[in-house]
Amino acid sequence: MAESEQPQKWKIEKGMNGDFIFKGVTVIFAFTILAILLLMVYEMVRESLPSIRKFGWGFITGRDWDAVQGSFASLPYIWGSVVSSILALLLATPLSVGTALFITELAPKKVGGVIASLVELLAAIPSVIYGLWGVLVMAPWLQSTVQPFLIEHLGFLPLFQGAPYGVSMLAAVFILMIMVVPIITSIAKEVLLAVPQSQKEAAIALGATRWEMIRMAVLPYGKSGILGAVILGLGRAIGETMAVTMVIGNTPQISLSLLSPAYTMPSVIANEFAETTSKLHASALMEIGLILLAVTLIINTLARLLLWGVTRKQKGGSAA
């Protein structure tokens, strides 16, 4: 007996050794993710330093971008990014929430399921393909049909002045809207599905119409989650590179007109970073990247906190 226990014990110890190594490996890989994030921030800050030192706050408030003179400031790019993303979100939000409500509350289960999978499939189409369609199909259509119409009928507004170029802020807003709608819709759908059935039934039992049920029971419950979905969409829109670069016209100017070409932060990086003329030029682009990173980090943190709140509430609800 004593002899047969000996190898048994040895085996267990060997197993413990394996456990130690295994745990070590998983710990290292798990912390690699944290390390990558920190490394990204560190690299972006380090590479931006020459530009930050040289231009200070003027980098954000100035308009001059001249690689030959070596003077760089980024306001036109920030303007382009902010305006295009926010307008796209303004258009996309009601559409997405309406669609999500249609899928979860109105459509028969099967129809809703089909629409939901279609939307999810379309969210998977890469941005370069949206850009291809945008530059070869949508922009010419805007130039020949939509923009002349806007100039003729709404041309008295500063928003719609100038010549119809096709590639423009308007084109970027449209393409961004088309791209973020599937993202917001699918997250908002998840949020709405988490609304407890009892809340809806209570509203119906009190004699509410379907819309009143949505307004009184569904939307208040899903409010923060939907906000999270919209903010997540904003993060995507601000960081979106390829499709916007292909349709916005890449002209660094601040214009109120939606018909004039503009430029965004990711676009200028995409167009110039591979062929920088000087160290300072590269550093200025890095600083634009750093601003972009900072903005998306804040946006995503906010969105995650809102969405985590919803899922936690959901878990608490099912446990109670």
Partner 1 sequence: MKGIRLRKAKNLMMTILMGAATITVLVPLALIFIHIVRMGLSSITLDFFTQIPKPTGETGGGMANGIAGSALMIGLASAIGLPIGVFGALYLTEYGGSRISNLIRFSADILSGVPSIITGMVAYTLLVVPMKGFSALAGAVALAFIMIPIVLRTTEEQLKMVPGTLREASLALGVPMWRTSLKVTLRSATKGVMTGVLLAIARIAGETAPLLFTALGNQFWSKRLTEPMAALPLQIFNFAIAPYEDWHKLAWAGALVLVVIMFTLSLSARYFGRSRQGS
| Contact flag: residue 31 with partner 1 (CB under 8 A) | yes
> CA-CA distance, 165 to 162, in Å (whole number)?
9
Enumerate residues 106-135 that contact partner 1 by CB under 8 A. 106, 115, 117-122, 124-133, 135
The residue (of 83 and 181) whose beta carbon lies closer to partner 1 is 181
Instruction: Name the one range near partner 1 by CB under 8 A: 9-17, 53-61, 198-206, 310-318.
Output: 9-17
Burial profile 104-114: b = 16 or more Cβ within 10 angstroms, e = fewer: bbebeeeebee
User: Among residues 97, 139, 114, 148, which one has the least CA distance to residue 245?
Assistant: 139
- Total residue length of the chain: 320
Enumerate residues 264-303 that contact partner 1 by CB under 8 A. 266, 269-270, 273-274, 285-286, 289, 292-293, 296-297, 299-301, 303
Which listed residue (78, 88, 103, 306) binds partner 1 by CB under 8 A?
103
The secondary structure of the chain in percent helix, strand, coil, rounded to multiples of 5, reads: 80, 0, 20
Query: Using CB under 8 A as the criterion, what x/- string covers residues 40-69 for binding partner 1?
Result: x--xx--x----------------------
The residue (of 155 and 165) whose beta carbon lies closer to partner 1 is 165
Number of residues engaging partner 1 in binding (CB under 8 A): 89
Which listed residue (10, 49, 63, 98) binds partner 1 by CB under 8 A?
98
Enumerate residues 67-96 that contact partner 1 by CB under 8 A. 94-96
Question: Based on the number of CB atoms within 10 Å of its own CB, is 26 exposed (0-12), middle (13-18) or buried (19 or more)?
Answer: exposed
Q: From residue 68, how far is each of 61, 80, 206, 278, 281 by CA, in Å?
A: 20, 23, 71, 9, 9
User: Among residues 127, 110, 142, which one has the least CA distance to residue 258?
Assistant: 142
Question: Based on the number of CB atoms within 10 Å of its own CB, is 300 exposed (0-12), middle (13-18) or buried (19 or more)?
Answer: middle
Task: Please count the other Cβ atoms lying within 10 Å of the Cβ belonging to residue 55.
Answer: 21
| Contact flag: residue 232 with partner 1 (CB under 8 A) | yes
| Contact flag: residue 246 with partner 1 (CB under 8 A) | yes
Q: How far apart are CB 76 and partner 1 at their closest, in Å? A: 18
Instruction: Name the one range near partner 1 by CB under 8 A: 65-73, 146-154, 177-185, 252-260.
Output: 177-185
The residue (of 169 and 247) whose beta carbon lies closer to partner 1 is 247
Element (DSSP H or E) covering residue 54: helix 2-55
| Contact flag: residue 25 with partner 1 (CB under 8 A) | yes
Enumerate residues 179-218 that contact partner 1 by CB under 8 A. 181-182, 185, 209-212, 214
The residue (of 73 and 292) whose beta carbon lies closer to partner 1 is 292
Q: Tell the residue number behind the tokens 């002209």, with chain if given.
A: 251
Which listed residue (36, 90, 157, 256) binds partner 1 by CB under 8 A?
36
Q: From residue 170, how far is each of 75, 152, 161 by CA, in Å?
A: 19, 16, 12
